[in-house]
Chain A
Amino acid sequence: MIDFELEPQILNRLKMYHAVSEHMMRPISRECDEHEHQKPTQFYESMWSASAAADVQVGDDRSKRTQASEASTPRRANLLTVLSTEELCWGDAGLYLSTPNAGLGGAAVMAAGTPEQKARFLKRFREGKPKWGAMAITEPGFGSDSSAVATTATRDGDHWVLNGTKIFCTAGEMAAEKSEGFVVVWATVDKSAGRAGIKPFVVEHNTPGMTVTRVENKLGIRASDTAAIVLDNCRIPLDHLLGSAEVRKEGGFKDVMATFDATRPIVAAMAIGVGRAALDFVRDFLKQQNVAVRYGISPRRLTALERDFMEMEVQLQAARLLTWRAAWMLDSGKRNSLEASMAKAKAGLAVTLITQKAVELLGPLGYSRKILLEKWMRDAKINDIFEGTQQINMIIVARRILNYSSKELN
């Protein structure tokens, strides 16, 4: 039965996330943006212990989500994740991404690992000091075309030997060198096998041969580190290959793609959180200025400002509903690749435009670094790019609605 109501217990939970946003993120938002590579260690500690105490992963909850979506557990996990993500990114998207947890590395372990591997690699996130998990796919030679992985994994006795360069690895520095975390590296065991030869490998922090060679300076989400990682004869144990080493037509690469069905709605929700931050700010500002937004009157009588504000509002809600639907489908065990890409494409673009408009609406005040609008505009843009650019998601939508393969439409 069609329903748009959030039940009280979910709303209560969101209130908790909202408090985290308001009291732990917003106060350090500007400072973390201005001092890009300085680590807010106290924030890390607080988030780490808060998540341990609440037994809910505050922040990027991807590993937990994947776990929960495995049949036996409640069917709300993905929806809850997008809701909490929106709430936390209302606080600060960069800090959200830098929150210590298993992150995308954890998602990969959950998607591709054996039960034993899941237990072994993920145990650390429930104990001890703050840790990060990261995932490394992108390379200097490719971005959107994930099948072009050039990093190699060669068997040498009891070890895999990894060689190659990875870039744009979110939380890569924290996972690889600054905590007892790990990086999941996608590498090919057989280049001639194409996509089927691409496998995920867990590389433990400070493994000899793995070096963080640079941490990027970015337009936004500056609180989150984006690392380049070089693997130079990096030796890892055989059982660090997630899943099976066997090169089959199906599998391997399919796992990468499957994780996108879950992570794209999350990125859409990140965008929505940032967009809502901007919208809320503008709404409050207009209220202070006694500028009314008159719903229901003739569209011909609306001021340009009212029109802009309403457009921002409805675009955000459209993106949100598409995102909820994609998450709900996953919770309901429905295939959602199309809807996940729709949500991601819509949210990435909509929020890019919403935050740009918000800066415009406040004129000289909006452009000033005294308030956070300009930061949100910079933060928002990444959601139109990572986890599949808008254009890649449009291609996926197009293929699905046209029933074309990637060979037919590329």
Chain B
Amino acid sequence: MIDFELSEEQQMIRDSVGAFAREEIRPAARPADESGAIPGALVAKAWQFGFVSGAIPEKFGGGGDARSAVTGAIAAEELGFGDLSIAIHVLAPRLFAYPIAEMGTDDQRARYLKRFSGADFAAATAAVMEPRFDFDLSALQVSATRDGGGFVLNGAKCYVPLAAESDSMLVYGATDAGRGLAGVDGFIVARGAAGVTISEREKNMGLKALATYELTLKDCRVGADARVGGEKGIDFSRLMSQSRVALSAMGVGVMNAAFEYARDYAKERKAFGVPIATKQAIAFMLADMAIEIDAARLLVWEAAFRLDQGGDGLKESYLAKNYVAQSALKVTDNAVQVLGGHGYIREHPVEMWLRNARGFSAIDGIATV
């Protein structure tokens, strides 16, 4: 039955994460973008929300909350409203924990999930993307070849968040290159494993506060027990749909931040004696932004809903993410335009949001709900 009302719990999550984003993440965003470093205290505070441990089953030390993509999208949007780099950073351990929690063997869950129930941020991550222009989740070039009881990983990865500080990561590679998404497996790779080289930190147009790395895998050997889910493997398609929902939701948050800022500016800033917001040229841009934000959010919620219903949500999440990649760019660009010359100056945050928004066409698989 069609319903657009958040549950009380979701409302609460939106309010509390939203307040945290507004009051604590937002003021830290610009300094973090300039310095490339996110304050540890802020990450620690975010950790208290239980973004990672909440949905881990109780018997593995987590909060045992039911995991919901819709609820996850609501929280991710708020974090994205605060700052995209910080949002991806604080959620990064999920990239390792959630696939194991949902699809790992009992042994893997017992072994790897407890580390996320401690008081301190436990860095962990996943290596999904690959450094080529037509990088395609359904045609990964990192290969995982069976070798005796285990696997040998070869190839290159990029945009691996927090790779240098993570104890463990998941590396995705094709065990069966002909089978597209179904031929992909995830492997648990420990820090310092032989054959893994982590490059210098990447330098990107935006997401400057987020530490991401390239990774080279050269005959990296892992045991059979490193394969997530053991012989039955993983549902990579579902993992990527969950990721697209998370990133799209963050995109909606970025759009909303840019919209609010431009709206408030337009009501203050005067030209020819009146606030520029009273001019249709500006007012229509703002109206268009507001419509795009609501449309994008509904598309994201629908994709999340399909996942929560047990569907694969592939088409919905893919279309939602591509929609967000386009509309986030348009909305943040409009925000810069509304501020005119001031929008181009780094004193205002809109140029940062424009740089971050462009990232959605490049990134995939680096966050999850």
Contact = CB atoms under 8 A, between A and B. Distances in A.
A401 interface: yes
B277 A404 contact: yes
B278 A321 contact: no
A345 B296 CA distance: 15
Interface stretch (A106-114, A201-209, A221-229, A391-399): A391-399
Interface string A367-410: 00000000000000000000000010011011101101000110
Nearest to B361: A299
Interface stretch (A31-39, A119-127, A312-320, A351-359): A312-320
B344 interface: no
Interface residues of A, number: 43
Interface in B293-316: 294-296, 298-299, 301-302, 305-306, 309, 314-315
B314 A295 contact: yes
Contacts of B6: 1-2
Interface stretch (A3-11, A65-73, A138-146): A3-11
Contacts of A242: none
Contact of B302 (A4, A79, A310): A4
A95 interface: no
A109 B361 CA distance: 51
Contacts of A322: 291, 294-295, 298
Given A79-B2, A401-B286, A296 B314 contact: yes
Interface string A290-326: 0000011111110000000010011001110110110
B291 A342 contact: yes
Given A298-B136, A346-B291, A397-B287, A2 B278 contact: no
A397 B263 CA distance: 13
A328 interface: yes
A365 B287 CA distance: 37
B284 interface: yes
A394 B288 contact: yes
Contacts of A397: 287, 290-291
A317 B299 contact: yes
B7 interface: yes
Given A298-B134, A301-B134, A310-B322, A328 B2 contact: yes
A394 B280 CA distance: 9
Contacts of B290: 342, 397, 401
Contacts of A342: 290-291, 294
Interface in B22-57: none
A342 B298 CA distance: 13
A299 B7 CA distance: 35
Contacts of A401: 263, 286-287, 290
Contacts of B283: 394-395, 398-399, 402, 404, 409
Nearest to B316: A317
Contacts of A332: 5
Main secondary structure of the interface of B (DSSP, over half): helix
Nearest to A408: B278
B347 interface: no
Nearest to B289: A401
Nearest to A6: B2
Contacts of A391: 284
Nearest to A325: B4
A321 B295 contact: yes
A102 B306 CA distance: 39
A310 B320 CA distance: 10
Contacts of A409: 277-278, 280, 283
A314 B286 CA distance: 22
B322 A402 contact: no
B70 interface: yes
A296 B181 contact: yes
A2 B135 contact: no
A314 B321 CA distance: 10
B231 interface: no
B226 interface: no
A53 to B, nearest CB: 27
Given A3-B1, A4-B2, A318 B134 contact: no
B267 interface: yes
B237 interface: yes
A5 B5 CA distance: 14
Interface in B263-283: 263, 266-267, 277-278, 280, 283
Nearest to B135: A298
A386 B333 CA distance: 31
Nearest to A298: B136
Given A319-B295, A325-B298, A398-B280, 14 more contacts: A5-B305, A296-B237, A298-B136, A298-B139, A314-B322, A321-B302, A324-B2, A328-B2, A394-B284, A394-B287, A398-B287, A402-B266, A402-B283, A402-B286
Interface of A: 1-7, 79, 295-301, 310, 313-314, 317-319, 321-322, 324-325, 328-329, 332, 339, 342, 345-346, 391, 394-395, 397-399, 401-402, 404, 408-409
13 contacts: A1-B6, A296-B137, A310-B322, A313-B319, A314-B320, A317-B302, A339-B294, A397-B291, A398-B287, A401-B287, A401-B290, A402-B283, A409-B278
